[in-house]
Structure 1
C-alpha cells in the first residue's frame, strides 16, 4: 500500500523540498501548494495517517507500531531544538493529532501530549483493561472521547453505544452501534443537521436520518457527512466553497465571470455577444437538513473524509472523488480551482491505482492506494460519463 499527499504544504507536512529548492527559497519549509498527488515514499506496508492543519502523524503498524510526525515542530523522537516533547510510541495502536495535542492509544493506556509544552509527561492519561484496549477507535475512548482542545477528555453516556466519532471545527458527529447519527456543538452553519442554526450542548439524534442505518461519519470545519449502509452519501452544513457537492452561488458566479471575460475577448472589446438564455438555478449556502448527493451513478461510497472546506470520498471500485475548496491543490485535480460537484481524481486512474482510503487535513488530502494488478482488478470497467447539473443532488 502506498500513501500520497496533496494540498497545503507550508510546513512540509506532505513533502520536504530538496537542497536546491531550500537554497533558492531561503526557507526550510516546503512549497506552499502541492497540486499533484505526491508519493510519500517512506510509507509502505500497513500504516495510517492522521492530519491537522500544520502536522501529519504517521502510524506504522509493521514497525513496532511507531508514530512519526511531519510538519510544524515535526520531531517527537529526536533532540532537535524545535522538538517540544519526546514520546515513546512503541506499540501504538491508534493516534490522533491536532494543533495542540498528540493522543496515542498504547497497550493498556491512553496518553495525550501537549505539543506546545516541554513537559516530559503526558498532559492527560488513562489506564485501560485488556478488553477496553481492543476497542479503542480514537477519538473515542472508554467512557468518552478526546477533544482537540482542553479539556482533553469529554464524557459520553454509555447509553449512546458509540461506534465512531468525528470532530469538526466546533461540532461533533457520533455514530452509534445501531447506525444512528447524533450531533452536538456549534450549529451556526447548519452543521448539526437538525434543520436550524441553533447550537446543542448535548448529543441529539439527526431525525432526518432516523430509520436509516449509517456506517460511517465525517466532519469538516462547518459541514458534516455520513455514509449509509448501502453506500449512499448524505451531507449537511455550510456550502460556501461547494464542500457539500451542492450548487454554490459563489463558485458559479466566479465561473460565470471568467466565462464572460473569455467571451468578451472572443467578441472584441467594442462588440457584444448574443444574449444567452438564462436558467434559474437553486443555490445552497447552508443545508440545515441532510441531503443525498449522488457522487458516482454506478458506484457506492466506501469511505469519506472532510477537510476544513473540502470533501473526499472513495468508491467501492477504488476511485477517489473530491470537491469543495481547492485553493492549495487539496482536490488533486492539478489546479487550485474549487468545485461544487464531485469530480474523479484522474491521477490515480491514470496510474492504474485502486484507492483504498482517504484522510483529509484541514487544507490537504492524503490517500492510500494499491496497484490494481495486486488486487486482481486489471479489468475494472472505466468510469461512465460524468453527469452535470442539479440532478446530482436531492434534498431529504
Structure 2
C-alpha cells in the first residue's frame, strides 16, 4: 500500500526538504500536487508496504507493521523511534508520541530527550482474535495527547471506536450509537444546542440508525451510517461540512468582482449585491447544531472519512476520494489553493488509475492510501 500526501508541508512532513525530493515539491510549504510519501531518514524502513498514518500540525507518524513493526516520524524533529520496535499503533501530537504495544501503552515527550516515557500503563496482552488496539481507544478508557493521558469510560458504553477533535470527543458504540462530549460552542456535539457536555451523551438525532464510523475535526463532526451515508454537524465557516458557506461564497464573489474590475473599470454590480441576490434562493449555514445528511454527487457509498481542522475527506466504496472545506494549503488535493463547500472528487487518483483505500487528515493536510485499481477492486 502506497501513501500520498498534500497540503501543509512547512516542516517537511509530506515532502522531505532536501535536493533529492525538492523537484517534486516546488513550494515546500504548500504541496498542492499529491506526492508519494518517502522516509528520508531510513529508506529501509520506508520500503515496508503496510503502514498507518497519524498526523499533527507539524509532524507525521508512520507506523510500519511488516516484520518488526516500528514508528517513523517526519516533519519537526523527524527520526526513526528505536523505542517503538514492536508497537502496534501510534498517535502523534505536537508534544507527545503515544505508542501501543501488546502489553503496555507509552507516551513519549517529544520536547525532551529522555530514556523513559513520560507516562506508561500496563494492559493485558491482546490475543490475535481480539485484534489490535487502535488509538485513542484503549482497554477501559482512552488516551489523549497531554496530561492526564488516560481517561476512563463507563463499561456500559461498549465502545467500538473513538475520535478526538480539538476540544470534543465522539464515541461509536458496538450497537452503532454515537456519543459525544466536550466543548459544544460550534454545535460539534450534535445535541441541537451550543452547550458543552462533561460526560458522554447519545446523539439523539442518530438513534435508530446504526453508524459504522465516526470522525472529529477541529470543531466539526462526521459519521458514516451502516448503509454508507454521511452525516455532518458542527462549524461550517470554511465549508468543512459540505454545506453552503456564506464566507466562501462571499470570498468567491469578491475574487470574481476583482477580475471583472480589471477587465471593466465600471462594474455594474457589486459582490455584496450578488450575494444578497443569492441568499434569496439559498440558505447559508454557519453552524449546524444537529446531524444533517450530506449528499455526495454522483450518489455513492462512503467507506471511510477523516477530518482536519477545517476540512474533510471521504473515501467511497469504489475507491474515489472526495474532499471539501478549507483548502488554502492545497489540502483538498485539487491542485489549487481554493476552498470548497461541497464534496469534490480528487481527480489525480482517478487519472492515475489508483484505488484509494483509506484517508487520514492532519490539521492542515491530507494523507491517502492507494492501490492500483485492479488491486483495490479485488479487496
**Same fold per TM (> 0.5)?**
yes
The reply on whether 1:138 has 2:135 as its aligned counterpart is: yes
SS in 2 for 1:278: helix
Offset at residue 126 of structure 1 (A): 1.5
Equivalent of 1:60 in 61, 64, 68: 64
Corresponding residue of 1:96: 91
2:357–2:376 contact (8 Å) kept in structure 1: no
**TM (normalized to structure 2)?**
0.90
Corresponding residue of 1:5: 5
**Matches of residues 62-77 of structure 1 in structure 2 within 5 Å?**
62-77=66-81
The reply on whether 1:19 has 2:14 as its aligned counterpart is: no
Give me the whole-angstrom Cα distance separating, in 2, the residues matched to 1:113 and 1:249. 42
Rate the CA distance shift 1:297–1:21 in 2: closer, same or farther, 3 A: closer
Corresponding residue of 1:392: none
Rate the CA distance shift 1:154–1:264 in 2: closer, same or farther, 3 A: same
Corresponding residue of 2:116: 121
Corresponding residue of 2:322: 321
Offset at residue 122 of structure 1 (A): 1.1
Corresponding residue of 1:292: 293
Offset at residue 44 of structure 1 (A): 4.9
Equivalent of 1:110 in 62, 82, 105: 105
Give me the whole-angstrom Cα distance separating, in 1, the residues matched to 2:191 and 2:107. 32
Offset at residue 89 of structure 1 (A): 1.3
The reply on whether 1:372 has 2:378 as its aligned counterpart is: no
1:263–1:273 contact (8 Å) kept in structure 2: no
Offset at residue 236 of structure 1 (A): 0.4
2:15–2:21 contact (8 Å) kept in structure 1: no
Root mean square deviation, CA, Å? 2.1
Q: Deviations over 1:228-253 (max 9, x none)?
A: 00000000000000000000000000
2:98–2:145 contact (8 Å) kept in structure 1: no
Corresponding residue of 1:201: 198
Give me the whole-angstrom Cα distance separating, in 2, the residues matched to 1:154 and 1:5. 32
Offset at residue 182 of structure 1 (A): 0.3
Count of aligned pairs: 360
Gaps of 5+ in 1: 23-29, 78-86, 378-396
Rate the CA distance shift 1:270–1:237 in 2: closer, same or farther, 3 A: closer
Rate the CA distance shift 1:328–1:103 in 2: closer, same or farther, 3 A: same
**Matches of residues 120-269 of structure 1 in structure 2 within 5 Å?**
120-131=115-126, 134-266=131-263, 268-269=264-265
1:2–1:43 contact (8 Å) kept in structure 2: no
Rate the CA distance shift 1:128–1:284 in 2: closer, same or farther, 3 A: same
Offset at residue 108 of structure 1 (A): 1.1
Rate the CA distance shift 1:195–1:352 in 2: closer, same or farther, 3 A: same
SS in 1 for 2:31: strand
Give me the whole-angstrom Cα distance separating, in 2, the residues matched to 1:366 and 1:229. 24
Give me the whole-angstrom Cα distance separating, in 2, the residues matched to 1:145 and 1:319. 31
Corresponding residue of 1:51: 55
SS in 1 for 2:375: helix
Offset at residue 105 of structure 1 (A): 1.0
Corresponding residue of 2:336: 335
